Amino acid sequence: MKYFPFLWATLWRKKARTIFTLLSIVIAFLLFGMLQGVNAAFQLGVDNANVNRLIVTSRISLTEALPISQRQQIEAVPGVAGVAHASWFGAYYQEQKNFIFAAPVEIDDYLHVVPEVKIAPEQVAALKQNRSGLIVGAETMKKYGWKIGDRIPLHSTIWVNKYDGTSDWKFDIVGVYEFPSDRSQENGAFFNYALFDEARTFGAGTVGWWIVSIKDPNQSAQIAAQIDKLFENSQDETKSQSEKEFTQSFLKQFGDINFIVKAILGAVFFTLLFLTGNTMMQSVRERIPELAVLKTLGFSDGKVTLLVLAESLLLCLIAAALGLLLADLIFPLLKDTIGVVKLPTRVLVSGGLIAVLLALATGGLPALRAQRLVIVDALAGR
Amino acid sequence: MIVSLKKVAKRYTRGKETVEVLHSLDLGIEQGDFVALMGPSGSGKTTLLNLIGGLDRPSEGEVVVAGEHIDRLSGAALARWRARNVGFVFQFYNLMPMLSAQGNVELPLLLTKLSAAQRRKNAQTALTVVGLADRARHKPSELSGGQQQRVAIARALVADPTLLVCDEPTGDLDRKTADEILGLLQTLNRDYGKTIVMVTHDPKAAEFAKRQLHMDKGTLVPGNMP
């Protein structure tokens, strides 16, 4: 700690150079924070996937509907604990950018299979009593300032309501749901499948996908195979996957996000390595006589090496802290797009570790040069 | 005897060529002495000074300073020894430009176990001794050449070393300022008992020393032998 004022003064010896280097590292870590945050947000869905659940979709495509008659057969498969369904409604509120994941469900079945969703019992009862009832996620309620009792329109990009001939479906908000284990799931809404199935102009008697809870997660692959076997060679062949596999394959539709993020960050940090390394080299080269004076005064080779490394560490850690702090402040603004409210802690921790590695990599060569410096040669300018 | 050199030779290899800068040199300096080392360029004055200050090692012979065979010490031990026993003053001051006078003077004390307050106090005392207490917060660029050299002397003094080695300490100063600096060194020798070995080209500067030694072609000129 007693060396801090010396290190700090050394760091700001060339203010403009330090500021520009600092800025480039800040921007690199801001990018790191944002991209890794997005990656982690996508990964969160995979990590939070329930091992006790299977998702059964059409073998052809996720958008292909399945007949509701499949339900009894799926329920009869040994090891199945419960079956629920959901369908893609493609809803937004007022403007297309206000996307809401609204799904028509049979609420009792859904809550049985997805118990992470928490709704007050009287609100569940209210949904069942009101055919046009809607239970909205806590985040969405807050975002639009809705309250229970409000009547709101949701525009469907797929379904036309045959009773009024429009795609604007009117709902009465009767409750709020929470998803305590993953708050990013609170930006959706549930409404009655009965209303949806009766009022849509096509596709009656079908569902989007099945959500199947199973008794033993170790049996997951076998049960999935058994379900698919049931509908083999039928018009409605199925593809059953664990929730985790389903989430992963869903994300793969956007491309290998993990790879893309790593490739971009790899290029950024590779460039940064040369930039910061060059700055550190230049800084040490300019200070050869000063380093020689330090050694003359009694600073050992090891101590001078550590001082150069500490300077590099100080620069990288300050810049990384600023970059990650900025990312932490900006990241919540992406909440509407990716659903995650806060930059995951593991992104901040891994950012800190990368800053240390960057400091060691960029400070290593200059530190070695300082360590090998021969006092009499350096003082004589040789 | 605070400095004792016996049969010291120093050779440098530059490419394929080996140059012997000092030849079998013997030298003794008593505690409290003020010695001026004079001689033409290339005579080996600075090399001898570097050996006495523990900045370099002899190719042959024995160097004993402040009771320590410094030619036998490891690199780290030699660095520790320098910090405890020797203060250095250079021709071009060699101050850290980003530190204040106070910061520069405190620098050698970072190697001690003194508290921050004690370091500050000792540095202020050293600056007072050289007459620069009121310039403690100034950076080197805000000081004149003479003032910078005073800061360098304060830095050399602050750890209370037994020996001061000065390499052309007035080589970059005008006559009046040079005389002030030499007067200060004389005071440190006389009133504070510091042993001083000073390399200089300037006969007037050498007059401030108690003793003058002349070097030529890597040896002490006879008649000046200790």
Query: Is B50's CB within 8 Å of A376's CB?
Result: yes
A225 CB-side CA count, 13 A: 4
Q: Which of A1, A2, A377 is the best mutation test for B, with the most CBs of B within 10 A?
A: A2
State the sign of the Cα–Cα–Cα–Cα dihedral A256, A262, A266, A269. positive
B8 in a structural domain: yes
Q: What is the pLDDT of residue A336?
A: 62
pLDDT at A255: 66
* AA letter at A367: A
Q: Which of A290, A302, A303 sits opposite B96 (nearest CB)?
A: A290
**H helix or E strand, kind and range, residue B205:** helix B203-206
Total Cβ atoms within 10 A of residue A379: 23
Using alpha carbons only, how large is chain A's radius of gyration in Å? 29
Distance between CA atoms of B136 and B103, rounded to whole angstroms? 8
Distance between A39 CA and the closest CA of chain B, angstroms:
43
Residues near B209 by beta carbon (within 8 Å), at least 6 away in sequence: B34, B35, B36, B196, B198
Residue A338: per-residue pLDDT = 62
Domain count, chain B: 1
Nearest C-alpha of chain B: how many angstroms from A25?
23
Question: What is the predicted pLDDT for the residue at A264?
Answer: 86
Average pLDDT, chain A: 90
Q: What's the domain range around B187?
A: 3-220
Q: What is the pLDDT of residues B28-59, one digit of tens each?
A: 999 999 999 999 988 999 999 999 999 999 99
Taking residues B89-99, what's their average pLDDT? 92
Burial code (b: 16+ CB inside 10 Å, e: under 16) for B145-161 equals bbbbbbbbbbbbbbbeb
According to the model, what pLDDT value does residue A253 have?
Answer: 66
pLDDT at B225 over 60: no
3-state secondary structure of B23: strand
CATH number at residue B210: 3.40.50.300
- CB contact under 8 Å between A297 and B108, yes or no, is yes
Which chain A residues have a beta carbon less than 8 Å from that of B79?
295, 298-301, 303
Token representation of residue B126: 């050293």
The answer as to whether B168 is a domain residue is yes
Indicate the residue of B55, B96, B116 with minimum beta-carbon distance to A375.
B55
Using a 10 angstrom Cβ sphere, with 0-12 exposed, 13-18 middle and 19 or more buried, the burial of residue B40 is exposed
- Shortest CA distance to B44 belongs to which of B5, B82, B93, B78? B5
For residue B157, give the chain A residue with the closest CA. Answer: A297
The residue ranges of chain A whose pLDDT is under 70 are 45, 48, 253-255, 335-341
Mean pLDDT of chain B: 92
How is residue B220 annotated by DSSP?
E
Q: Residue A298 and residue B110: Cβ atoms within 8 Å?
A: no
In a domain, B225, yes or no: no
User: Would you call A294 an interface residue with chain B, using a CB distance cutoff of 8 Å?
Assistant: yes
Residue A338 makes CB contacts below 8 A (sequence gap 6+) with: A38, A41, A42, A184
Distance of CA B37 to the CA centre of its chain: 12
Q: What is the pLDDT of residue A339?
A: 61
Q: Using one digit for the tens of pLDDT, what is the confidence trace for A119-146? A: 999 999 999 999 999 999 999 999 999 9
